[in-house]
Structure 1
Amino acid sequence: MAELLTRTACDGLEALEIGSLSLAESAPQAMTTLAPYKGQQAALGKAMKAAHGLGFPAVHGSTTGKGARAIWFGRDMALLIGPEPDPGLTRHAALTDQSSGWAVLELAGSGAEDVLARLCPVDLRLTQFEVGASLRTEAKHMMASICRLDKDRFQIMVFRSMARTLHHDLKTAMEARAARG
């Protein structure tokens, strides 16, 4: 029988250091979408707080706690990143494992906003997109989830099948940013 190997979506893609910027795959973690049942978002938030130390994120926001992060992932949906979800959450929401379905990269360094401005049609400046902000948008021609992790650090997620394309597009934008000085 064939032996199957588990590989991340970014397996084989090099980490980059270009100018003041770095690009690398995020450490693989469990990722689960949480879609609250009708009228259950508040109860889900309380259950998340008890189980994982964080609440259900506000629209375009994120929450953190106990080695976990929850990001807004679309209308009435959050993505729990880190731990396996507590089974009790199923009383309040539909849970779907997304761990293998997404490529997750982190772009960090001075000028990260400039790099993303070349790919995304939204204002990601710190004054408009604060630490912890999260949104779904276009990244060049792919749909993406972007979360600001710190002042100069972003998490960018695209469907697994687009990992190489995202890496290439970010590398090109990083090189263009570095060439400008």
Structure 2
Amino acid sequence: MPELIAKSALARQALTLGGVTLAEVDAGQVTSVALFPGGTKTLAKGLKAIGLTMPAPNTFSEKNGRRIVWTGRDQAFLIGAGLPALDGAAVTDQSDGWVTLGLSGPGVVDVLARLVPVDLRLPSCPVMTALRTHLTHMNAVILRIGDCAFEIMVFRSMARTAWHEIEASMLMVAARTGKKG
């Protein structure tokens, strides 16, 4: 019987242009958590056991190598570690369906401004913000993980397209600023 080997969606080295770095991030396991009607208290007990709570809209939190990210009304992604049994919610492994790209550097907001229809400047999008939006024509979950750092989750089938679009924007911003690396 053949043995299946997990492969990276992009298998690319990091790319740096104009002081902005793009890289594929291994986020670990991604599990969708969708609250059942009336399951709030039951789910809260299960999440409390791992030190997390359901995130407020447009936020995420981290603890002990796990991250819980708001992805919609009564929905979240639990990222980065195995999931204990959770009652009160539909729980589905999404690990093979999503790719995470890291984007960081002082010009990161300028790069994303060409691709995303929301204001990502720090006053409007503070650290620990999670946005469900579009990256050009692709659905995306965008996490602000630092003052000059984001993680962008897109469907695995769109990974190369997302990389291409971000790289093109990085090139345009680098050309405007005159920075090469």
Same fold? TM cut 0.5:
yes
Determine if contact 1:8/1:100 at 8 Å carries over to the other structure.
no
The amino acid of 1:128's aligned partner reads S
Determine if contact 1:138/1:144 at 8 Å carries over to the other structure.
yes
How big is each residue's C-alpha offset from its partner over 1:97-131, in whole Å with a ceiling of 9 and x where there is no partner? Answer: 01110111000010111111100111111111111
Instruction: Specify the alignment match of 1:142 in structure 2.
Output: 138
Residue among 59, 62, 65 paired with 1:67: 65
Instruction: Specify the alignment match of 1:37 in structure 2.
Output: 36
Instruction: Specify the alignment match of 1:49 in structure 2.
Output: 48
* SS of aligned partner of 1:70: strand
Normalised by the length of structure 2, the TM-score is: 0.93
- Segments of 5+ residues of structure 2 without an aligned counterpart are none
Instruction: Specify the alignment match of 1:76 in structure 2.
Output: 74
The worse-fitting range, judged by mean Cα deviation, of 106-115 and 14-23 is 14-23
How big is each residue's C-alpha offset from its partner over 1:44-89, in whole Å with a ceiling of 9 and x where there is no partner? Answer: 2332122x212111011111111110000112100000111111x1
Structural RMSD (CA): 1.3
Normalised by the length of structure 1, the TM-score is: 0.93
| Cα separation, 1, equivalents of 2:27 and 2:128 | 20
How big is each residue's C-alpha offset from its partner over 1:31-51, in whole Å with a ceiling of 9 and x where there is no partner? Answer: 10101111223442332122x
Determine if contact 2:20/2:103 at 8 Å carries over to the other structure.
yes
Determine if contact 1:21/1:111 at 8 Å carries over to the other structure.
yes
Residue among 110, 126, 131 paired with 2:122: 126
| Cα separation, 2, equivalents of 1:131 and 1:76 | 22
What is the CA distance between 1:6 and its match in structure 2?
1.2
The worse-fitting range, judged by mean Cα deviation, of 33-42 and 93-102 is 33-42
Question: Structure 1 residues 98 and 92 mapped into 2: Cα distance closer, same or farther (>3 Å)?
Answer: same
Determine if contact 2:18/2:107 at 8 Å carries over to the other structure.
no
Instruction: Specify the alignment match of 2:8 in structure 1.
Output: 8
The amino acid of 2:131's aligned partner reads L
The amino acid of 2:163's aligned partner reads H
